[in-house]
Amino acid sequence: KFTDEVDALLRDQTRLMRYGKRAREVVDERFTWQNCAARTGELHERIDTARRFAHIGVVLNSGDGVATMTREGQLARFEKFYVGEWAKQFREVSIFSYGDDRGRPAENASYVPGRPGLAGLLYAAIMPLVHRRRFRRLSLIRVMQAGAAIPALIAKALWRTPMVVTYGYRYDESMQRKGRPLYAKLAGAIARRAVRRADRVIVTTPSLRDEVAALTDEAKIELVPNGVDLSAFRQKSHAKPGADARLELIFVGRLTPQKNLALLADALEPHKDRVRLTLVGDGQERSRLEAAYRQAGIDARFLGTIAHENLPSLLQAADAFVLPSRIEGHPKALIEAMASGLACVGADVEGIRDVIRPNETGLLVAGGPTSFAEAVGHLLDDPALVERLGTAAREQAEAMYDLRRTLAREREILRSVVAGS
């Protein structure tokens, strides 16, 4: 039939010329570079107009506020980079806190106080009603972690407010490992519902992208890894160690069972006369870990939580970064250590194996303390390996984790959702 139509058209010169003329008219109307440029300009103007009048709401992780972020050393990073970027891009930024926070981290950005006397989940459920007027004005809700998306889900149901969520780790498994089985089931269910209802889902690793793709339309999934400020976390210079120099190790993170730091004490005991360990962070296991490292005879300094701006100098003073965790999402501390040019030794688990390229930008360790001890032994015996891994780690951080590029990508995502709403 197709061949017959073509033959008939070729025999009818009048019709052939009429079709050709109309085709040219369509091209002139729609597909000249001038028309395409004009339509592109109109689209950008629409996006810019939407951005200038947009009011973005930010939903923090359940229970979080200024005090929590200060305690974890993350407040300065959050306000300088994330809030700073949102404030430049949108007319108004409302950060919904679970604490009694009322400050303004930027001229057009403010914390909206929570109800500290209420449990996190209860307040999450009533937050959109308590702050109804503000929620109804929102052009977009940015949910920092999908497991805490209850306020955004309610706003979506009531007012059809667009939402962009980050799926940063496996919420149910993480809570299970923290000994909270009931909350694990609830957080997992909330996260799954959030990714199905979200307008965009930001994932930080390829393995999380695969998991989310089984739950929702793959077209709305965006892979945006955590970023690091490469101007603050700089490549360290590797001085040649002296004959009696110790290998300076550093860990950064919460002192919780998930981080598996008891294993590290066992792993370092055979090398106790050749290593020195600095632990940055605080948590429920601190007293027990201090006793364990002291009993093992390991030279370990527990610094507690420090301001994020003081972290680069500590990393510069170290030779290698250690992360023996049982599970991770996309660990910022690891990529900051890589950006600092440190050799990194990490457990071969989800989240860490998504970042470290084995024997290229770090060492991945499967198994128990003996395997971890062997990996540290390789670094002790081969200073050239320490330097090679650290240099390659910095190159990977520059290529993949530049905070300027990751923030720019998030900016594009948020603006496109606002423009399309």
**Most confident stretch, 104-118, 233-247, 369-383:** 369-383
Integer Cα distance of 420 and 250 in angstroms: 46
Block residue for tokens 């200024």:
66
Calculate mean pLDDT across residues 16-28.
77
Question: For residue range 248-292, what is the model confidence (pLDDT) as tens digits?
Answer: 999 999 999 999 999 999 999 999 999 999 999 999 999 999 999
Q: Hey, CA dihedral for 411, 414, 418, 419, is it positive or negative?
A: positive
Integer Cα distance of 282 and 256 in angstroms: 8
- Length of the chain, please? 421
- How far the first Cα of the chain sits from its last, in Å, is 45
φ, ψ (nearest 5 deg) of residue 202: -95, 125
Of the candidate ranges 7-16, 86-95, 360-369, the one whose mean pLDDT is the lowest: 7-16
φ, ψ (nearest 5 deg) of residue 364: -100, 135
The runs of H, that is alpha helices, within 202-359 are 206-213, 261-268, 286-296, 311-316, 332-339
Residue-wise over 244-257: b if at least 16 C-beta within 10 A, else e?
eebbbbbbbbbbbb
Calculate mean pLDDT across residues 346-371.
95
Task: State pTM to two decimals.
Answer: 0.82
Percent of the chain with pLDDT over 70: 92
CA angle 53, 221, 189 (to 5 degrees): 100
Integer Cα distance of 238 and 295 in angstroms: 31
Integer Cα distance of 167 and 178 in angstroms: 19
- Residue 45 half-sphere exposure toward CB, CA atoms < 13 A: 6
* pLDDT for 347: 97
Integer Cα distance of 340 and 237 in angstroms: 9
Both structure tokens of 251: 């860990």
Count other C-beta atoms under 10 Å from residue 169's C-beta. Answer: 23
